[in-house]
Structure 1
Amino acid sequence: MTKEELAAQLCCIEYGARIPGELIVAAQSSGLVILCGASDDLMEFYGARREEIGCYGGGTAFVDVDGVLPDRDCLDGDEEIAEYVHRQKSAKPIEALWCQEDGYSWTYKTDIPHATFHVLEDDAPYCRGIVFALADLA
């Protein structure tokens, strides 16, 4: 499955509904990651990588082929810091934008090749999610 095919299947999913399990499994087997917003403070990653990042009012997550980098402020010890510094050299940023585009609570900005899909809340736009391939981060 390609990122475009998966995004098309996710299009117009209703906020609050879970992403169907079969689409998460398809994303996992295809090396794809689904990113969408939740509430007013979360970036949620599903598929080939699962993570939840706090980003109240917006924020930035860094991703590489191994997934989402941890919050640097939460690292404990020289080994964790060294691994973070090593990974960040090749990591790509994804910026979560809170209420920056008319009609959307969440949108994302990144140079990672991706496809987009719309999450609706009561038939109105809530989030423009993205789907990207881990292979594009190598």
Structure 2
Amino acid sequence: MNAKELATKLNGVEYGKMHLDLCDAAEENGLVIVYGASDDLMEFMGAIDDEIGAFDGTTVYLDENGLLQNKCDNESCPHFINKLSRSKLYVRAIWQNSMPCWTYDTNLPHETYDMMDEGELYCKGIVFSLTDIKNVDRDQRILAIVKKYSDKLDLPNHAGADYVYQSDAPQEAAVEMFAEIADILMIVELEA
């Protein structure tokens, strides 16, 4: 099952009556279901099982392992702040006092579904894949490496491997860049 298939099956689900078999299927397939509960919660079910306080809306950040959470008692924990500053992936819960009460904004590849409450649209929920997070994270890391070496290689924007081989770019910088990219691709392949 993929995100689109799951969102199709969830479409029209009644608030408070989430199908547990679909949550199990989501978990088995690395999929995450997101929806709002009451006026103050963002629910995650499936491959991520969590509940986040979201009174008046909130934003959560993710990495390839799931939700970023502060494990320190200190709100200004430097380790957590460092993780947040590196994370570009987010899900933003948007609350409004009219129907639908909950909508979501995210930069993750995702599908949407409608959650109903007594015949009215209550929430525009989303479904995304943890595999997609790993791919987005991988792509961002590769892009950062290409940007890092672009000055050394005198690459124009959006240049690919063909340009490097056709140019007089320093061979050493090209080899270093491709070695770093290969490391990322190998790491992602081993984690999958």
Under a length normalisation based on structure 1, what TM-score does the superposition of the two structures give? 0.86
Is the helix fraction higher in 1 or 2? 2
Cα deviation, 1:69-103, whole Å, max 9, x if unaligned, reads: 22x4x7236xx752562365135111111118x63
- Looking at structure 2, the residues matched to 52 and 65 of structure 1 have their Cα atoms a distance apart, in angstroms, of 19
- Asked whether the equivalents of residues 64 and 87 of structure 1 are also in contact (C-alpha less than 8 Å), the reply is no
1:104 matched to 2:100: yes
Cα deviation, 1:5-33, whole Å, max 9, x if unaligned, reads: 0000001111121x222111111111100
- Looking at structure 1, the residues matched to 55 and 84 of structure 2 have their Cα atoms a distance apart, in angstroms, of 24
- Looking at structure 1, the residues matched to 23 and 9 of structure 2 have their Cα atoms a distance apart, in angstroms, of 11
User: What RMSD, in angstroms, separates the aligned Cα atoms of the two structures?
Assistant: 2.0
Say which of 120, 128, 133 aligns to 1:132: 128
Equivalent position of 2:147 in the other structure: none
1:95 matched to 2:99: no
Q: State how many pairs are aligned.
A: 132
Secondary structure at the residue paired with 1:104? coil
Which of the two has higher C-alpha Rg?
2
Secondary structure at the residue paired with 2:87? coil
Equivalent position of 1:7 in the other structure: 7
Equivalent position of 1:44 in the other structure: 43
Cα deviation, 1:43-93, whole Å, max 9, x if unaligned, reads: 0000001110001011111122212122x4x7236xx75256236513511
- Looking at structure 1, the residues matched to 84 and 48 of structure 2 have their Cα atoms a distance apart, in angstroms, of 16
Equivalent position of 1:32 in the other structure: 31
Is the strand fraction higher in 1 or 2? 1
Cα–Cα, structure 1 residues 88 and 21, in superposed 2: closer, same or farther, change >3 Å? Answer: farther
Any stretches of 5+ residues in structure 2 without a counterpart? 135-192
- Asked whether the equivalents of residues 64 and 134 of structure 1 are also in contact (C-alpha less than 8 Å), the reply is no
